[in-house]
Amino acid sequence: MTVRVRMAPSPTGFLHIGGVHTFLFNWLYARGRGGECLLRIENTDTSREVTEAVDQIQRSLAWIGIDWDRPVTFQLDAMERCRELAAKLVADGAAYEDEGAIRFRMPDDGSTGWDDAVRGRIEVPNAQLEDVVIVRSDGRATYNFASPVEDMDDGITHVIRGEDHISNTPKQIQILRALGHEPPVYAHLGSILGPDGKKLSKRHGAVSVDEFRAAGYLSEALVNFLALIGWAPDGETTEMTVAEIVERFTLEAVSSSPGTFDYAKLDWLNGRYLRALTPDAYADRLLVFLHEQSIGWDKERVRAAAPLVQEKIGRFEEFPGMVGFLFGFVDPDVTLLDPAILAAAGKAFDPVEPWVAAGIEVALKALCEELGRKPKEVFLPIRVAVTGSRISPGLYESLELLGKDTSLARIRAHAAAS
RNA sequence: GGCCCAUUCGUCUAGUGGCCUAGGACACCGCCCUCUCACGGCGGCGGCACGGGUUCGAAUCCCGUAUGGGCCUCCA
């Protein structure tokens, strides 16, 4: 039997990272088994639909690298089909009308259970199952009816979703059986929580795919990170390519307990990915990021500056702050400046030709010697005068890139009169 | 309240009865490297929620308790 899964977002807003996590696991499972992964928009609640959401969801998935097979489907398109099946259930006595709506008749005795692919056997007393509304009084099917119906019609073999759906599962199984269809395999994933143990939300930090993108995370780092929440190939491996994750992923190895979203670990992992990029690839990705952020800095200059920060930042978001001094004026904190040292530096740099890092280094070392001061004491005021901050890329390289004229101008602007 | 799910270092996890004196990674702390910040290297801190069983032997199996979460909508 060919595996077929589905990703079923509701178009109520941006794509939440928790949803991406669920979709990723569906996608990994299908891709690792030569199966199909469908995208179904569950929009039966028209009142909550957000216009831009459908496009945005697809864009977010594309950026993450999660693709899908066959055209996108919309649950609202299955309403007619759902009404027909509901009518059939009423005719069979399995459902009944109630104030204009149609309710499915749940059994009162016994229990409904299934072998959850990640949790094992789950059994729920049927007495807990109320007669759910399957068609609203306005004729639209509800989620609990449309979803299993579409799973049936689409030939879904595995329903991989969040644990908040566990209590819907026995109801959907009953409905499917009444329809004469054998239920798919269900797999319920643990939720993703914020650092405080509550459901991950806006106040914890970035939650939508767009936010992670705008913060300068690499999609492959995000995928790697997400894969490791609730799943691990072994006890050692943490850095894996998508291909490797696809190859090693199994539902059996998925954990059933909830996981906390650790932003610090994501930052570390993203930094690892960033540093592993070749200088060219790094600059390419950085340029794409800056373009998305509407930062129109000179491309060649950005390429030249990129290598200076590749080892220093964990997200592209940090780039502008780190090298802004190369693209605009600086406003140094004068209390960190030392006019005497700056005056001496101005003189020491004057004869340096050509203006390259190696020559600058020699001049700077000689200056330290001459002043009888330690490098860190001499470098600080120069760094602040030139970059506007006590934290910057390497000083020699920064000076070289800034250019001799600008560098000297910034140094002399705060130097003691001679 | 009812039903269901979960519980290994602060965090993500390895572990499926003896290999565990519980391993790895992030975070944190210290040292080294060093022009700042980082990176990198080395080392350290730190955990099987609790209580009963079962067993020669339990993080692993069973029961209970506690804690956290989910659902109980003509939401998905």
pLDDT digits (tens, 9 = 90+) for A364-410: 999 999 999 999 999 999 999 999 999 999 999 999 999 999 999 99
Per-residue pLDDT tens digits for A133-161: 999 999 999 999 999 999 999 999 999 99
Report how far residue A231's alpha carbon sits from residue A94's, in angstroms, rounded to the nearest whole number.
40
Q: Is a pLDDT exceeding 80 seen at residue A200?
A: yes
Do residues A396 and A307 touch, judged by C-beta distance below 8 A? no
- Within chain A, all domains assigned CATH 1.10.10.350 are found at 334-417
Do residues A54 and A22 touch, judged by C-beta distance below 8 A? no
Identify the residue whose Cα has the smallest distance to the C1' of B40: A311
Q: Is the ipTM of this complex over 0.85?
A: yes
Q: Is a pLDDT exceeding 60 seen at residue A418?
A: no
Report how far residue A22's alpha carbon sits from residue A179's, in angstroms, rounded to the nearest whole number.
27
- CATH code that applies to domain A334-417: 1.10.10.350
- Whole-Å CA distances, A289 to A169, A213, A297, A300: 42, 8, 12, 15
Q: Which of A82-91, A147-156, A192-201, A368-377 bottoms out in mean pLDDT, i.e. has the lowest? A: A192-201
Q: How far is the CA of A167 from the C1' of B7 (A)?
A: 20
**The pLDDT of residue A409:** 97
pLDDT confidence tier of residue A203, bands split at 50, 70 and 90: confident
Do residues A348 and A355 touch, judged by C-beta distance below 8 A? no
Do residues A26 and A56 touch, judged by C-beta distance below 8 A? no
Do residues A286 and A187 touch, judged by C-beta distance below 8 A? no
Residue corresponding to tokens 């028209």? A46
Residue corresponding to tokens 């930062």? A295
Q: Tell the CATH superfamily of the A4-71+192-260 domain.
A: HUPs (3.40.50.620)
Which backbone phi and psi does A373 adopt, to 5 degrees? -120, 160
- CATH code that applies to domain A277-326: 1.10.8
Fold of A75-189: Rossmann fold (3.40.50)
Chain A, 235-294: which CBs lie within 7 Å of strand B? 235-236, 238, 252-253, 255-260, 262, 264-265, 267-268, 271-272, 275
Please give the mean pLDDT across all residues of chain A.
95
Closest by Cα among A116, A30, A119, A112 to A67: A30
Q: How many CB atoms lie within 10 A of CB A251?
A: 17
Chain A, 62-101: which CBs lie within 7 Å of strand B? 75, 98-101
- Within chain A, all domains assigned CATH 1.10.8 are found at 277-326
* % residues pLDDT > 90 (chain A): 93
**Across-strand partners of A113?**
A123
Chain A, 289-328: which CBs lie within 7 Å of strand B? 311-313
Its pTM stands at: 0.95
Per-residue pLDDT tens digits for A103-139: 999 999 999 999 999 999 999 999 999 999 999 999 9
Residue A338 sits at the vertex; the CA angle it makes with A337 and A339, to the nearest 5 degrees, is: 110
Report how far residue A121's alpha carbon sits from residue A99's, in angstroms, rounded to the nearest whole number.
37
**The pLDDT of residue A202:** 86
Complete DSSP assignment for A169-234: HHHHHHHHHHTT----EEEEEPPEE-TTSSBP-GGGS--BHHHHHHTT--HHHHHHHHHTSSB-SS
Which alpha helices (H) appear in A40-142, and where do they start and end? Answer: 53-64, 79-92
- Within chain A, all domains assigned CATH 3.40.50.620 are found at 4-71+192-260, 75-189
Chain B bases near protein Cβ (<7 Å): 2-8, 10-16, 23-28, 35-40, 68-76
Q: How far is the CA of A187 from the C1' of B21 (A)?
A: 38
Q: How many CB atoms lie within 10 A of CB A47?
A: 5
